[in-house]
Amino acid sequence: MIWGFIMAKDKKVEQITDMDVDFAQWFTDVVVKAELIDYSGIKGFYIMRPYGYSIWENIQSVLDRKFKELGHENVSMPVLIPESLLQKEKDHVEGFAPEVAWVTYGGSEKLPERLCVRPTSETLFCDHWQHVVHSWRDLPKLYNQWCSVLRWEKTTRPFLRGREFLWQEGHTLHRTAEEAKAETEQMLEVYADLCINYLAMPVVRGRKTDKEKFAGAEATYTVECMMHDKKALQSGTSHYFGDGFARAFDIQFTDKDNTLKYPFQTSWGVSTRIIGGIIMTHGDNSGLVLPPKIAPVQVVVIPVATHKEGVLEAAQKLTDELKAAGIRVKLDDSDQSPGWKYAQHEMRGVPLRLELGPRDIEAGVCVAAKRTGGDKITLSLDNVAESVKSLLDQVHNELYEKAERNLRENTFDAHSVEEARELAEKGGFVRMMWCGDEACEIKMKEQAGVTSRCIPFEQEHIGDVCPVCGKPAKHMVVWGIAY
């Protein structure tokens, strides 16, 4: 029980389960009571309400701008994939087969061939490129698609494991392997930048093991984030396919030397799962905490003693000034009590609250309260927009520092499987050397209860041998329990 009952005209701010008592229930309480999602009549299919969707729109706006700056173009592919098309790349189809939903009837007639509801769109892009790529002059193809996909997950949770979810999927085709590899690494950095500089989420960059890489990829790169409960969330991935898909789909082009060659392919994606990551990284026992750069409402203005002459007018003037400065601001002039409004907007994660009453107006100030806590701050109404922007930057920095501290203080080194198991039971990331053998990776899951999150780009030598088998170690791996 968090707030007790804050009453106003027979209404109360709904209570949220204590996150340290039941983190899963806390998460569910937040996404429902902050009005991010609602449950539909079909398991695993969620309704994203306006407040939740606007968070996605703000993330989408950041990424779409960055993609276009790098030369990518948006396209739209069909939602259905013929079974024969999906079967063309063996590893790819095997990787997705358990999650595929099939359409077998069109109206009342049985279809001559099953159609898959897209779980991802590599095969669709390849089929298209086979028709339009003929010369080296046609390359590169730098495409991105904003869409929904469907994967028939057995265990579902809002944002984290929905059967249908929104995402962007980038697909590119290149003349050389070097260009494709550079694209793969570049787009991973775009995701790292999104997490760090917009979502206030520190990341571990690295390469997935062969066991954990994307179906059909030669290499998968990832940014891994640590949640409040010390579990891992894969927050963005970028895949290098080599020319495997091009060969399977017979995509060839005439190169500068007048010979036929196969192009090299990548794909990369971020989904609405990242909203779950924001919630679980920054949320607290008062509810949602949103990073200012993607918050639908960055500032809420709450007039106090609205029955007093001039209060509402002054609050509207303050709101208009902030809006003119490019700040996303809401004036809450509803008939609820100020205390109810404070709790409600805290629960919805608004980064900054401004209070304005008769005495404040007389003194030419307003009072600011950051969602990250601390003493209230008095701001002059002269040049208030610049002061507000500075406070929003402070909120971002405080959120990042708190999350970075959680990551740093809960990352441990292990030198035996038993030590890794004991550390994992407490929660956090475990760094341990590894020989590169998949059998040892499987044993880590069986004996320590963890999966490999990535082989970090920033390698440290913390031992000479693999603690699982005793053979010479090749890599330091980050292990953890993941969503």
Whether residue 11 is contained in a domain is answered as no
Strands (E), 54-127: 73-74, 80-82, 101-106, 109-117
Task: Tell me what pLDDT residue 110 has.
Answer: 97
Residues 276 and 346 in one domain: no
Residues 385 and 422 in one domain: no
Residues 263 and 202 in one domain: yes
Task: Tell me what pLDDT residue 96 has.
Answer: 80
Q: Can you give the CATH number for the domain in which 417 is found? A: 3.30.110.30
Task: Tell me what pLDDT residue 1 has.
Answer: 31
Whether residue 13 is contained in a domain is answered as no
Distance CA 42, CA 256 (A): 53
100 with 152: CB under 8 angstroms? yes
Alpha helices in 150-206 (DSSP H): 177-197
Tens of each residue's pLDDT in the chain, 483 residues? 333 333 333 345 568 999 999 999 999 999 999 999 999 999 999 999 999 999 999 999 999 999 999 999 999 999 999 999 988 877 777 778 889 999 999 999 999 999 999 999 999 999 999 999 999 999 999 999 999 999 999 999 999 999 999 999 999 999 999 999 999 999 999 999 999 999 999 999 999 999 999 988 999 999 999 999 999 999 999 999 999 999 999 999 999 999 999 999 999 999 999 999 999 999 999 999 999 999 999 999 999 998 899 999 999 999 999 999 999 999 999 999 999 999 999 999 999 999 999 999 999 999 999 999 999 999 999 999 999 999 999 999 999 999 999 999 999 999 999 999 999 999 999 999 999 999 999 999 999 999 999 999 999 999 999 999 999 999 999 999 999
Listed residues 250, 282, 314: the one ending a domain: 282
- Quick one: CA torsion of 385, 388, 394, 400, rounded to 10 degrees? -90
Whether residue 16 is contained in a domain is answered as no
Q: Which of 388, 398, 396, 298 is nearest to 58 (CA)?
A: 298
pTM score, whole prediction:
0.93
Which H or E run includes 393? helix 384-409
Length of the chain: 483
Residues 43 and 172 in one domain: yes
Q: Can you give the CATH number for the domain in which 401 is found? A: 3.40.50.800
The angle formed by the CA atoms of residues 160, 165 and 170, to the nearest 5 degrees, is 105
Q: Which of 121, 143, 267, 269 is nearest to 194 (CA)?
A: 269
Residues 117 and 214 in one domain: yes
Q: Which of 199, 194, 218 is nearest to 207 (CA)?
A: 218
Task: Tell me what pLDDT residue 402 has.
Answer: 98
Cis peptide before 296 (omega within 30 of 0): no
Task: Tell me what pLDDT residue 13 has.
Answer: 54
185, two tokens: 């690494």
299-308 residues labelled b (16+ CB within 10 A) or e (exposed): bbbbbbeeee
State the residue range of the domain holding 424.
Answer: 411-480
Listed residues 259, 282, 305: the one ending a domain: 282
Whether residue 3 is contained in a domain is answered as no
Residues 228 and 113 in one domain: yes
* % helix, strand, coil for the chain, step of 5: 35, 30, 35
Task: Tell me what pLDDT residue 14 has.
Answer: 67
β-pair type (232-242, 264-271): antiparallel
β-pair type (299-303, 352-356): parallel
